[in-house]
Structure 1
């Protein structure tokens, strides 16, 4: 497999975590979003949307990180990143979607550029949406977590949560109101696979 991404991209980060938790080997190709490399003709042949990540697989080129993570779970079911019970799986997917649908899209690079172009405070914008989502996740983790975001082992929820906390820290968000969320994050961050997926450990990271 070949993962096309950007070292600091939250969506690429969550994909790296899932790949690492499943013990899968892959190559990486970096595309610097700051210089617009994701809009090159070569990359647009892989992903016409011009976004990262894109994962080259035997099943073709996959895009959109939630779809990639679901494919990984179906194609490589061990170790599982979803619980066995259908209701529990729905809860994990809801936690992941809280980040993938309601938090991350509102603080990614292209949205923040648009906020700045309109004269807005991009950092305050991002922090506000992160705070709203984290408040909901705090309650969900308090209800369903047992060391990790859901239960006692990492799931797709943790794959999404760790990169979003990384982003929150970059924006200077006060994380003190979310003790359950941060405890789950730190538990996940302690895993060697998650440590290997950290942006600073990637070959295209700023040095």
Structure 2
């Protein structure tokens, strides 16, 4: 019998959203362990969760007795452990492109508008809300401008970021588009990104991973 998978997750965490997509694409069953990032200062800061992840971040994937951190590293672990269907292409050149697109989102866009950054601006520097909103919009738009250029009219771009099958790059792209909508980004400037996002969301694996479909989503959002 396969060892049980548990995903420590928060319904609106885009990093956890990436891993949910990957698990669904692989057809892997898993239990969700909700970690509320806002309740009572954030459950990710409790001693119990810090034992699971000293960084105090979600997601954490538990596979048997092993705890795994960092969403992109988790996705690559899933791909190496359950190779079908693949999240990375077969050629080194195409894998490099997928990793570059993924890291543009996971390393260059997402960290700058993450909850802990915005909380630091608020609580430590007392940055007013409009300035915080402008910060988020600036970095998403700068990243999306580059991402759109890397995707539009590229010979490797197909129905998805790389060809006609979803990859690691799509796992990263869709949650970031969700965040962009949350913060009011004008997505009309990024038609290729939106086209790929819609193609992804038409697949059951992506649809089931949506934040509003998670067991810990608030009732008013799930409705």
Does the alignment reach a TM-score above 0.5?
yes
Answer yes or no: is 1:129 the counterpart of 2:129. Answer: no
Matched with 1:34 is 38
After TM superposition, the structure 1 = structure 2 runs for residues 162-177 of structure 1, keeping only pairs within 5 Å, are 162-177=174-189
Unaligned runs of 5+ in 1: none
Matches of 2:196 and 2:149 in 1, distance apart?
12
- Helix, strand or coil at the partner of 2:188: coil
Matches of 1:67 and 1:59 in 2, distance apart?
17
Matches of 1:6 and 1:21 in 2, distance apart?
19
Matches of 1:65 and 1:129 in 2, distance apart?
20
**TM-score scaled to structure 1, two decimals?**
0.97
Matched with 2:76 is 70
- Helix, strand or coil at the partner of 2:189: coil
Q: Of residues 172, 175, 186 in structure 1, which corresponds to 2:198?
A: 186
Answer yes or no: is 1:94 the counterpart of 2:106. Answer: no
Matches of 1:122 and 1:201 in 2, distance apart?
28
Matches of 1:105 and 1:179 in 2, distance apart?
24
Matches of 2:65 and 2:75 in 1, distance apart?
14
Matched with 2:159 is 147
Matches of 1:175 and 1:157 in 2, distance apart?
18
Matched with 1:51 is 57
Matched with 1:202 is 214
Answer yes or no: is 1:17 the counterpart of 2:42. Answer: no
Aligned-residue offset at 1:158: 0.4
Aligned-residue offset at 1:59: 6.2
Greater displacement, 76-85 / 54-63:
54-63
Matches of 1:114 and 1:49 in 2, distance apart?
15
Greater displacement, 41-50 / 5-14:
41-50
Unaligned runs of 5+ in 2: none
Rg larger in structure: 2
Question: How large is the Cα RMSD of the aligned pairs?
Answer: 1.0
Q: How many residues align?
A: 207
Greater displacement, 185-194 / 55-64:
55-64
Matches of 1:115 and 1:174 in 2, distance apart?
24
Matched with 1:3 is 7
**TM-score scaled to structure 2, two decimals?**
0.90
